[in-house]
Amino acid sequence: MPISSALKNGSKGPAVLEIQTQLLALGYALPRFGADGDLGDETLAAYGAFLMEAGLRTLSDELPKSVTVVGAVALDQAFQALNQHAQPAKILNEEAHHPHAGRSTSMPFRPWRRVTAIVLHQTATKIGEKASSWHTVPIHFGVTRAGKIYQLYALTEVCNHASDTELNRASVGIEIDGWFCGIEGQPETLWQPGGSGPKRKPMDLPKEQEDAVKTAVEWVITTVAANGGTVTRIHPHRQSSKDRRSDPGSLIWQRLGMWAKAEFGLDDGGKDFTMGNGLKIPAAWDPGYVGNRY
């Protein structure tokens, strides 16, 4: 909706709400007030960041004093150029029902160009097929054993899933429901919960679930590319946390992580790559990484 005159600090109404909605869709954060239809410092700061990235304003710490007609047109054009890329039927969008409690407070949103990685996880529990069961999980996508894909966060939201701040800011997380051995065929590498109950037995990876993860990975890569970004990396959670030694496990990594590397030319950082206090990919997961211990 074009505006006929500048919107000043303190302006309220549907025009302000639309500008806020467009800024959020483009990946600019409004962490405190969100899209509330009230033009304040938070919205003007996000708008100023957009102008700088669009080349319409020089680098400055000062807030714009208003949303100008020219700036609003540029924002609308950038929003209209977004390509959300139609979701496959398997992806069930649950963003509106999710509490988003896992969203980063220091950087709630990021521009599309900063989405560069995918991180694969195993849940190490069984969350199940009901959407409501996934609403406590801080992850972009949850993939059930029957092959349902629940989207819980927007691709431009920063979600605290990967244990490392920088990786969180760059990545989309995918949780694969179930418990899997750290090294397939070695049940002693399966994480066991505490207590005196019976020991778990390793789960398999159903074809429906494997295919659904592939669908999610491809859709993320395609959608990010359609909006001006490039996904170049894929990582196991293990690489960013010493406490996630078996995450997602050799079965998932070999069938899905290495598949994504071959299919889309993604990079896992190489033999010695880690982030934060993470662990290297072991040779038991990737035979090319000779000498890397589990």
Span 152-166, pLDDT tens digits: 998 988 999 999 999
* Fold of domain 7-80: Muramoyl-pentapeptide Carboxypeptidase; domain 1 (1.10.101)
pLDDT of residue 141: 98
Residues 192-238 have pLDDT tens digits of: 988 777 899 999 999 999 999 999 999 999 999 988 899 999 999 99
The domain limits of the chain are 7-80, 91-264
- Using a cut of 0.85, tell me whether the model's pTM lies above it: no
More confident residue, 27 or 220: 220
Q: Are strands 141-143 and 149-151 parallel, antiparallel or unpaired?
A: antiparallel
- When pLDDT is averaged across residues 172-199 and rounded to a whole number, the result is 94
Q: Which residue has the higher pLDDT, 87 or 102?
A: 102
Out of 28-42, 57-71, 80-94, pick the least confident.
80-94
Q: By percentage, how much of the chain surpasses pLDDT 70?
A: 97
Edge-first strand order for the sheet with 171-176 is: 91-93, 149-151, 141-143, 171-176, 117-122, 233-236
Q: What is the mean pLDDT of residues 26-51?
A: 87
Beta bridge partners of 126: none
Domain made up of 91-264: CATH architecture: 3-Layer(aba) Sandwich (3.40)
Q: What is the pLDDT of residue 213?
A: 98
pLDDT at 60 over 90: no
